[in-house]
Amino acid sequence: MCIIIDKSVIGVFLSEKAEHRRNSDPIRNWLEKGGGQIVYGGRNAEELESSARMRKYIVESGRRGRAKLIAKKSVDDDEATVAGLPELQSDDPHVLALARVSGARLLFAEDHDLEVDFRNTRIVHRPKGRVYKKFPEHKHLLKPCPRCPGKPVKHRKKR
């Protein structure tokens, strides 16, 4: 499965505090072991890259095939469509457009209105979007991604 990380959780995702790491470490471990990819693009990419630490994390993940940039034009074109939907509650049509264009159906966010929109099958459909909020209740959402390149990385024992 591919995951979208919203700007609302950048601090939590990169935090060194134990209470934050409890929820974000399973995602980081899943990504590092090759279970999935971060997808980003359009305004979401700009938001994530505004944090120097997050930009560094994405660049390093991209080098390992664990982050994928979606073309800005594709996301921006669908963002205009999403922004015009009458059922839209959040101010994040760019995140929803990213999900629709990329096929990512997992979101890590702390934004109630965005979470409601992401789960709304009239906005994000086939399959329905899911929101990762906290560990261990949502660990089951971190499944291997069939569309991600390569297989999970297996670390060899040192001799």
To which residue do tokens 């099958």 refer?
A: 121
Distance CA 19, CA 74 (A): 37
pLDDT at 78 over 60: yes
CATH fold label, 2-141: Rossmann fold (3.40.50)
pLDDT over 90, % of the chain: 72
What is the mean predicted confidence (pLDDT) over 88-94? 97
Strand blocks (E) in the chain: 2-5, 37-41, 67-70, 106-108, 130-132
pLDDT value of residue 89: 97
Strands 130-132 and 2-5: unpaired
- pTM higher than 0.85: yes
Per domain, the residue ranges of the chain are 2-141
How many residues belong to the chain? 159
Contact 101, 79 (CB under 8 A): no
Distance CA 103, CA 13 (A): 22
